[in-house]
């Protein structure tokens, strides 16, 4: 599992995120990076788990910040603005739930 996650993260970091053709693609890849960092955190222990959890937070925050920047652009159409806002809200809710879950798991350990 570590090899799979590491491989996906390498592709995301080295190729997909830097060469994303659209803003939406970049946000998608940043969220995907957060997901794979989270997968890492779920089966790691100790410092490795803590580092993976921190990487997860950074990736989701980067995606959220990028979405906020997109939402602030005056050129966005009404439909795209609504979609961006919904995605941002879902991302915030998901991050909140995941953070609480990770804290509960760390408290149990």
pLDDT score at 109: 67
Q: Which residue has the higher pLDDT, 8 or 104?
A: 8
Domain ranges of the chain: 2-47+54-108
Q: What angle, 0 to 180 degrees and rounded to 10, lies between the N-to-C axes of helices 23-43 and 46-72?
A: 160
pLDDT tens column, 8-67? 999 999 999 999 888 788 888 888 998 988 888 888 888 888 888 888 888 888 888 877
Is the predicted pLDDT of residue 3 greater than 80, yes or no?
yes
Q: Which residue has the higher pLDDT, 33 or 77?
A: 33
Of 98, 106, 27, the residue nearest 65 (C-alpha): 27
pLDDT score at 14: 93
């Amino acid at each position: 599992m570590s090899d799979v996650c590491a491989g996906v993260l390498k592709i995301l970091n080295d190729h997909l995120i830097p060469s994303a053709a659209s803003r939406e693609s970049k946000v998608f890849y940043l969220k995907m990076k957060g997901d794979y960092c989270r997968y890492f955190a779920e089966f790691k222990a100790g410092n490795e788990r803590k580092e993976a959890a921190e990487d997860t937070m950074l990736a989701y925050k980067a995606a959220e910040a990028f979405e906020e920047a997109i939402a602030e652009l005056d050129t966005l159409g009404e439909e795209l603005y609504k979609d961006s806002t919904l995605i941002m809200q879902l991302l915030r809710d998901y991050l909140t739930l995941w953070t609480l879950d990770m804290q509960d798991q760390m408290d149990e350990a």
